[in-house]
Amino acid sequence: MEPTGYNLLHDPSRNKGTAFTKEEREKYKLNGLLPEAVETIKTQLLRVNEQVDRFNIPINKYVYLLQLLDNNETLFFRTIMDNPVKYMPIIYTPTVGDACIQFGHIFRRPRGMYLSINDKGKIATILRNWPVKDVRFTVVTDGERILGLGDLGMSGMGIPIGKLCLYTACAGVPPQLTLPVVLDAGTNNEDLLNDPLYTGLKIKRVRGKEYEEFIDEFVYAINEVFPGICIQWEDFAGTNAIKILDKYRDKVCCFNDDIQGTAGVIDSGLLTACKLSGVPLEEHRFLFLGAGAAAVGIADLMVKVLMEHGVSKEKAYASFWLFDRKGMVSRKRNDLEDHKKPFANNDLEITDFLEAIKTVKPTAIAGLSTIKSAFTKEMIELMSELNERPIIFPCSNPTSHSECTAEEAYTWSKGKAIFASGSPFPPVKINDKIVYPSQGNNVYIFPAMGLAVLATKAKRVTDEMFIAALYSLSNQVSKTNLEMGLIFPPVQEIRQVAARMAADIAKYIFDSGLAGVKRPENIELFIKDMMYKPEYN
C-alpha cells in the first residue's frame, strides 16, 4: 500500500515536497500539509542552492545535503547532477574526511547497515532487516584506514554513504539498489574510544581468526540475502585489503576500490601524461612514495598495461621503484611484506626520497604516502632538471595530506609539470597562463564499473575490466582538455564519461563471457537506458 499524507512527505524515495500537483495533493491526502504554491524541480533547485550558499563551512553544507537526501532523494540527486563541480567536493573528498572525523557529532539519522563483530552468527538475519530485497551494490568498510586519516572505526561509515551517492550521481545506478555497510570490529583510535559521542564498539580492534571469521560470515551472508550483490571493499588497512581481495575476487562479485579503482584512475592519468610528455610509455621510470595496497595496485595494473604494449614481464616490473617508510623496496631488505616483493628489483639501500630521485632518475613520481608536503621544492626542481615534462602525482587525500599542492608543483617546475592529485586544487596562474589541475579521483572509475556490472549482471570483476576502464577514460581526454593542463575529462562531464566508460567495460564483459545477460545489439543505448534519472514521476 502506497504511503499517503504525512507519511508520504517523510518517504524520501517518493517525496516531491512542493512539487506535488493539485491532483496528487487531493489523491494522497496532502491538502493542508503543503503551502499553496505548486513548484517545479527547477524552482526547488534554486532554493537548495540558495540555502547551501548560506553556509560558509563545508561540513555544514555536507550536513544540509545529507538531510536533503533523507527528505527528498530525487531533489538531492538532481542537485548533485546539475552541478557536480560544486557539490562533489562537499558530498565526497575532501569534505567527507571531516564528516568521518565528526561522524558521531553530526549523526542525525542512520543510513545503511551497521554490523558489529558481536553480531557473528546472525549476520544474515540482521541483513534481512534492510527494507529493500533486491540490492545490487554494497560499499563496505571496517573503518581502519579512512582516506589518509587512519583508523576511524565505525565513523568510517561516511565513506560508503558518500561513494554510493556517487554511484547514482555520476553513473546513474538507481539508489534503491545500493546499501552502505560498516563492519565494526572496534578501533585503536584512543580519541574515539574516549569520545562519549562515538557510536561504535568501544573496544580495541579484533584481529586474527575472529576477525577473519567475521569477514567470512559477512561475505556468505550478503550473497545469501542479496544474490545479485557486488561488494566494493573500501578503506581496509593495506594488508587486510590485499588478503580480503585475494581471497574473494574469484569466489564472488567484488573489487577493492583502493587497490583496483585507484589503479585504474591513476594508471589512466599516467597513460595520458606519458602521451603528453612525448616519451613513449615503455620508456618511463616510475618512482612511488608509498608501497601500500594502493601503490602496489597501481604498479601491478600498469605492469599488465605495459605487457599489452609488448614489454616483457621482467622489464615491466623493472619500470617501477617503490619507496616506503623504511626506504627503497629492494633485494637488500629482509622485512618486506609479500605484496612488495615483486618490486624488490634493485639492490639500492636508500632511505631518503630525494636521494632516490637522484639515483633512479624517474620520469614520474607518485605520492601515496598520506604525508603532507612530502614532495619538496628541491625534489620538484630536480625532477624538472631530469625531465622536460616531469610527471608529478601527489595522490594522497584529503587535501590536508597531499604530498604537494598544484601551485607548488607548477611554480617549482616553472610550469613544466604534468600534474594530477588525489584531492581538488584551484586553477594556478603560471607564465601568464591559467592551468587547471587534474584530480585523479576514483570517482572517474568505480561508478562506471558499477553501472557496467549492473547492466551486464557480470559474474566477477576482473583486473582486465579496470584496464578497459582506464583506456576508456584516457581516450576521453580531448586536445582542448590537454591544452588546459587536464589529463582527465572535466568533472562537469562525469555523467557522459561514466556512460561511455560503462559501455566500454560492458563490451569487454560480453566479449569475455562474464555477462549474465544476452548481449544487446546496441551496448551504448542499453547502458543509457539503465541509468537513473532524477525526475519526479
Give me the catalytic one of 62, 87, 92, 198. 92
Question: Which sign, positive or negative, has the C-alpha torsion 219, 259, 169, 477?
Answer: negative
Q: Smallest Cα–Cα separation from 462: which of 249, 206, 174?
A: 249
Assess contact for 406 and 425: CB atoms under 8 A: yes
Give me the catalytic one of 16, 61, 163, 507. 163
Q: Residue 61 corresponds to which cell in the numbers above?
A: 553544507
349 CB neighbour count, 10 Å cutoff: 10
Beta-bridged to residue 116, according to DSSP, are 184
Q: What are phi and psi of 294, to 5 degrees?
A: -65, -45
Taking CA 402 as the corner, what is the angle to CA 399 and CA 403, rounded to the nearest 5 degrees? 165
Assess contact for 473 and 268: CB atoms under 8 A: yes
163 assigned to active site: yes
Integer angstrom CA distances of residue 165 from 66, 136, 159, 430: 10, 14, 10, 36
416 assigned to active site: no
Query: Could you tell me the strand order of the sheet in which 254-256 lies?
Result: 113-116, 178-184, 137-141, 230-233, 254-256
Q: Residue 170 corresponds to which cell in the numbers above?
A: 555520476
Q: Residue 145 corresponds to which cell in the numbers above?
A: 584506514
- Between CA 24 and CA 14 the distance in angstroms is 12
Q: What are phi and psi of 407, to 5 degrees?
A: -60, -40
Q: What are phi and psi of 358, to 5 degrees?
A: -60, -40
- Between CA 3 and CA 25 the distance in angstroms is 13
- Between CA 392 and CA 390 the distance in angstroms is 6
Burial of 34 (0-12, 13-18, 19+ CB in 10 A): middle
Catalytic site positions = 92, 163
